[in-house]
A and B are shown apart, each in its own frame.
Chain A
Amino acid sequence: MQVQGSNSASTTVGNAATQIEIEGQAGDSNDQYLTFIMADEEYGVDILCVQEIRGWESATPLPNAPTHIKGVINLRGTIVPIIDLRQCFGLEAIEYTAVTVVIVLKVKTEEGSRIMGMVVDAVSDVYALAQSEMRSAPDLGNAVNTDFIKGLVNVNDRMVILLDIDKLLTLDDVKSISKLTADMVSEAKS
């Protein structure tokens, strides 16, 4: 797991790298984003959506579910589905280890909020980012759906892709994104 030093908020990593508490608040005008790494690319999600970060534990598989739905886990009495974001984005699947991280998110949907877990490679950092720093995602025409990308942002010469979690994890769309994202990431890089 990869944890970088942080500039605006302090992150403490638990023993088994299972739990990260985020403290401190940045300026009011800035939104805070939790970033994570997947296939050497850094992604960010609005920290207010993040409920907790946990280590991977085996999930109960659901019958006839798409491959990126890993199953459900017991989160203190609530049944929470786990999504592999790698597989969801059409990236190569990797084996889960003790340090694989699940980000538990609260997603707003039309029927109310739901809780979901998202398997990522590693949690990276917390940034306070102003709306003005954000660049909109490149318009790739109708071929690629970029609705779930809130914007791109440059932090320390690294590009961070900010995801709109509410749109990303609306389950019906998840599948359609799969491959498109991979294309988009590679294009955004070039």
Chain B
Amino acid sequence: MSIDLSQFHQVFFEESIEGLDIMESALMELDVAEVDHEIINSIFRAAHSIKGGSATFGFKSVSDFTHDLETILDQVRDGRRNISKNDIDIFLQSVDCMREMISLLQAGEDGSTESTVELQKQFARMLENEQSEVPGQNAEEQTQQAEAQDCLATIKFVPNKEILQTGNDVVRMFLELQEFAEIVDIKCNTALPAFSEFNPEECFLSWELVVRSDRKENEILSCFEWVSDDALIEYVPQTSTTGASPSDAIAAQGLSSEGSTTESLSSNSVDVAQAKTLAEKEKQEKPKARAATGNKTTASESGSIRVGIDKIDNLINMVGELVITQSMLGQLGTDFEVNQLPKLVEGLGQLEQNTRELQESVMRIRMLPISFTFSRFPRMVRDLSQKLGKNAHLEMHGEQTELDKTVMEKIGDPLVHLVRNAVDHGIEMPADRLAQGKNETGTVTLNAYHQSGNVVIEIADDGKGLDRDMLVSKAVDKGVINQNEADLLSDEQVFDLIFHPGFSTAKEISDVSGRGVGMDVVKKNIQALNGAVELKSEKGAGSTITIRLPLTLAILDGQLVRVGGNIYIFPLVSIVESMQYKEGQVNEIAGGCNVFRLRDDYVPIVELHRAFGVHCDEQENALMVVVESDGEKVGIVVDELLAQQQVVIKSLEQNYRRVDGVSGATILGDGTVALILDIPGIVKLAGENFKAGQAFIASRKQNDLHQQQAVG
């Protein structure tokens, strides 16, 4: 009976990707001058797990590739090979290559790519060099190897009973052993208990293997590395060269008994069904996601998050408290008397607190440290600075700052763009830096911290900063502003120009910049998350970009407003100010659009009741809320301002569809639904309504004309 291993593929992919991340970050840490053994070990372990996993699942391309990589790493580990900067580059390339292979396998394709072949050739070259180098360097070892040439050894392998339950497969280990050594003889000892005590999931077998190999002991035993804690392994070299003749019968016996035990593997699997559905879901989602994001790391796309056990425990405590409060209130409710009113109020207060705490803890589950996003930057800055011939160093602070998972996923690409920009446009060439009396190595600093309910991410560089004159001349060239305006602009306003669509300060499009993600897209993405972006820069000293993001997308600080009988919610972040709406200050400009004089400025007005087609109160007491959308101020006329409160965002699209001018809905304290306004949408809507109105008037005029003609 064969088991369907494909149900575990998803787990393997996830683990491998995690392993690759570990390898990558360890490689980044690795100092060529002083090799830290712990780091090498962690790289080796990650590679080894990937190799083992891929061999188990029959992904030969990956296992062959990792095997070669592992061999080299092993030499590094044993101190037989010196590692150079070039080697680290090759290892990093291999990590990329494996990532690609795994994502190919995930898509159900064969894992080999061109770079696989290329890198494998490089590995072979490295190994050859090593063989020619080593004899000269280490004569002792050479003799050891020569001695080992004909060596026969007996390996005694007595696994613990539980070995099968940890997913280890003895047959695979032996197959792997064959790669190092010729198995001359297999003896299988059974220690079967009485039938009543027999458990099919336990292993009662032990083996004695006679192997012939030119490899060293530790190399041969590396096959058993995974099970070294779960088994007794003895290696006894035999001096006599007259090995026992191979006993096929015993070998066959050993193998066949193994075959039956592998079946038990499937019953050990945890949540098979769940893994399967997950895998299927992933399969469906992956192609789409791949198409959209190309070769990016797949880690951020997976639909699961790991939650610390402390968070879960905390949550359970809260639910416990909630249950207690609920039962208290229930008891109070069964025979309620008026004199118990204070107790009821107290109970309700407690309930409120419980609910709020519970909500916060649940939100916290969705929070992940921002290091998930930051972790890709060291590598990126390194590669980028190498490619550009610059020296750049990345400093990161506040990696533990927590951020909602959805927000994090969406902020990844804009951040990549900003860091890229900092290295590409910010940091100068080493020679220029030295000429300016700066350190040859430029520094890009990523900083994340919490500030008043927001997450702030700063990307700072100590490069050349923005050049006001260049920006202005470019903006004038592109017709974004004219020369007269340019002289009046403050520095901030000039810097804001780089967020203008179609504005790129890059002189030419390279593969570093000009990838179609302009700064305007960055700004738009951040605004779509209800965030804000700011830029400070000093010529010659560098620039700092500050991104402010809400902690979560699920809750919004809202301003409740009333229009006629309806309640709507403004996102508080978009409101600039509110004021009395005075007819006297309204002017109608050409085209029928109303504007309002706000100090020295004129802002267009949107009457919400008109845009939404609802009734409103009399205009005398109307208020105007000035909001900012895409850098434009717009006045929105409403009847009354109500409370400010946090609202939970609910989707309208889930059961209905997108509604213009509305970004979502929420449920108010009294259980009714209120709509959350989509400010840019409303502005657009107002424009469309205006056009429709014009068309209506035009058609009516035409009708009148026809009628007159008919009468005439």
- Tell which of A59, A63, A78 touches B614, judged by Cβ atoms closer than 8 Å: A63
B655 contacts A62, CB within 8 Å?
A: no
- Tell which of A63, A73, A171 touches B657, judged by Cβ atoms closer than 8 Å: A171
Stretch at the interface among B68-76, B381-389, B665-673: B665-673
CB distance from A182 to the nearest CB of B (A): 25
- Is residue B659 contacting chain A, with contact meaning CB distance below 8 A? yes
Stretch at the interface among B12-20, B403-411, B646-654: B646-654
- Is residue B660 contacting chain A, with contact meaning CB distance below 8 A? yes
- Name the residue on B nearest A77 (C-beta): B667
CB distance from A75 to the nearest CB of B (A): 9
- Tell which of B612, B654, B671 touches A79, judged by Cβ atoms closer than 8 Å: B654
B673 contacts A63, CB within 8 Å?
A: no
Q: In the complex, what residues of A have CB within 8 A of residue B662's CB?
A: 62-63
Q: How far is the CA of A65 from the CA of B656 in the complex (A)?
A: 11
- Most chain B C-beta atoms within 10 Å of own C-beta, residue among A72, A73, A114, A116: A72
Given A78-B650, A114-B654, decide whether A65 and B675 contact each other with a Cβ distance below 8 A.
no
Q: In the complex, what residues of B have CB within 8 A of residue A131's CB?
A: none
CB distance from A135 to the nearest CB of B (A): 33
CB distance from B693 to the nearest CB of A (A): 13
Q: How far is the CA of A77 from the CA of B673 in the complex (A)?
A: 10
- Is residue B104 contacting chain A, with contact meaning CB distance below 8 A? no
Given A78-B655, A79-B651, decide whether A60 and B673 contact each other with a Cβ distance below 8 A.
yes
CB distance from A153 to the nearest CB of B (A): 30
A62 contacts B659, CB within 8 Å?
A: yes
Given A60-B672, A72-B656, A73-B673, decide whether A79 and B661 contact each other with a Cβ distance below 8 A.
no
Given A64-B612, A74-B672, decide whether A79 and B652 contact each other with a Cβ distance below 8 A.
yes
Q: In the complex, what residues of A have CB within 8 A of residue B652's CB?
A: 62, 72, 79
Q: How far is the CA of A79 from the CA of B667 in the complex (A)?
A: 8
Q: How far is the CA of A81 from the CA of B655 in the complex (A)?
A: 7
- Is residue A22 contacting chain B, with contact meaning CB distance below 8 A? no
- Is residue A80 contacting chain B, with contact meaning CB distance below 8 A? yes
A63 contacts B672, CB within 8 Å?
A: no
| Interface size range on B against A | 20 to 34
Q: In the complex, what residues of B have CB within 8 A of residue A81's CB?
A: 655-656
A79 contacts B673, CB within 8 Å?
A: yes
- Is residue A99 contacting chain B, with contact meaning CB distance below 8 A? no
Given A63-B612, A63-B662, decide whether A74 and B673 contact each other with a Cβ distance below 8 A.
yes
Chain A 50-93, CB-CB to B under 8 Å as 1, else 0, gives: 00000000111111110000011110011111000000000000
- Name the residue on B nearest A116 (C-beta): B655
Q: In the complex, what residues of B have CB within 8 A of residue A71's CB?
A: 673
Q: How far is the CA of A189 from the CA of B521 in the complex (A)?
A: 59
- Is residue B611 contacting chain A, with contact meaning CB distance below 8 A? yes
B654 contacts A74, CB within 8 Å?
A: no
- Tell which of A59, A63, A72, A79 touches B613, judged by Cβ atoms closer than 8 Å: A63
- Is residue B621 contacting chain A, with contact meaning CB distance below 8 A? no
- Tell which of A65, A78, A80, A115 touches B659, judged by Cβ atoms closer than 8 Å: A65
Q: In the complex, what residues of B have CB within 8 A of residue A64's CB?
A: 612-613, 659-661, 685
- Is residue B578 contacting chain A, with contact meaning CB distance below 8 A? no
CB distance from A69 to the nearest CB of B (A): 8
- Tell which of A58, A61, A63, A79 touches B656, judged by Cβ atoms closer than 8 Å: A79
Chain B 669-687, CB-CB to A under 8 Å as 1, else 0, gives: 0011111000000000100
Q: In the complex, what residues of A have CB within 8 A of residue B614's CB?
A: 61, 63
Determine the main DSSP class of A at the interface with B: strand
- Most chain B C-beta atoms within 10 Å of own C-beta, residue among A73, A77, A79, A81: A79
Chain B, 167-203, CB within 8 A of any chain A CB:
none
Q: In the complex, what residues of B have CB within 8 A of residue A63's CB?
A: 611-614, 659-662, 675
A79 contacts B566, CB within 8 Å?
A: no
Q: In the complex, what residues of B have CB within 8 A of residue A72's CB?
A: 652, 656, 665, 673
A60 contacts B674, CB within 8 Å?
A: yes
Q: In the complex, what residues of A have CB within 8 A of residue B673's CB?
A: 59-60, 71-74, 79
Q: In the complex, what residues of A have CB within 8 A of residue B661's CB?
A: 63-64
CB distance from A94 to the nearest CB of B (A): 21
B675 contacts A62, CB within 8 Å?
A: yes
A74 contacts B566, CB within 8 Å?
A: no
- Name the residue on A nearest B651 (C-beta): A79
- Name the residue on B nearest A58 (C-beta): B672
- Most chain B C-beta atoms within 10 Å of own C-beta, residue among A58, A61, A62, A63: A63
Q: In the complex, what residues of B have CB within 8 A of residue A115's CB?
A: 655
Q: In the complex, what residues of A have CB within 8 A of residue B659's CB?
A: 62-65
B655 contacts A74, CB within 8 Å?
A: no
B672 contacts A79, CB within 8 Å?
A: no
Chain B 532-558, CB-CB to A under 8 Å as 1, else 0, gives: 000000000000000000000000000
CB distance from B330 to the nearest CB of A (A): 20
Q: How far is the CA of A58 from the CA of B673 in the complex (A)?
A: 10
- Tell which of A58, A59, A61, A78 touches B654, judged by Cβ atoms closer than 8 Å: A78
B665 contacts A79, CB within 8 Å?
A: yes
Chain A, 75-132, CB within 8 A of any chain B CB:
77-81, 114-116
Given A72-B673, A79-B650, decide whether A60 and B655 contact each other with a Cβ distance below 8 A.
no
Q: In the complex, what residues of B have CB within 8 A of residue A59's CB?
A: 673
Chain B 573-594, CB-CB to A under 8 Å as 1, else 0, gives: 0000000000000000000000
Q: In the complex, what residues of A have CB within 8 A of residue B671's CB?
A: 74
Chain B 499-521, CB-CB to A under 8 Å as 1, else 0, gives: 00000000000000000000000
Q: How far is the CA of A114 from the CA of B613 in the complex (A)?
A: 27
- Name the residue on A nearest B650 (C-beta): A79
CB distance from A118 to the nearest CB of B (A): 13
Q: How far is the CA of A78 from the CA of B361 in the complex (A)?
A: 21
Q: How far is the CA of A79 from the CA of B611 in the complex (A)?
A: 22
Q: In the complex, what residues of A have CB within 8 A of residue B654's CB?
A: 78-79, 114
Chain B 632-656, CB-CB to A under 8 Å as 1, else 0, gives: 0000000000000000001110111
Q: In the complex, what residues of B have CB within 8 A of residue A65's CB?
A: 659
Q: How far is the CA of A160 from the CA of B689 in the complex (A)?
A: 43
Q: In the complex, what residues of A have CB within 8 A of residue B650's CB?
A: 77-79
Chain B, 671-712, CB within 8 A of any chain A CB:
671-675, 685
A74 contacts B612, CB within 8 Å?
A: no
Q: In the complex, what residues of A have CB within 8 A of residue B657's CB?
A: 171
- Name the residue on B nearest A113 (C-beta): B655
Residues of A within 8 A of B (CB): 58-65, 71-74, 77-81, 114-116, 171
Instruction: Name 8 interchain pairs, CB-CB below 8 A, sorted by A.
Output: A59-B673, A60-B665, A63-B613, A64-B660, A71-B673, A72-B673, A79-B651, A114-B654
Q: Beyond A60-B665, A79-B650, A115-B655: 20 further Cβ-contacts under 8 Å?
A: A62-B652, A62-B675, A63-B611, A63-B613, A63-B614, A63-B675, A64-B613, A64-B660, A64-B661, A64-B685, A72-B665, A72-B673, A74-B667, A74-B672, A77-B667, A79-B656, A79-B665, A79-B667, A114-B654, A116-B655
Name the 3 nearest CB pairs between A and B, nearest first. Answer: A63-B612, A60-B673, A81-B656
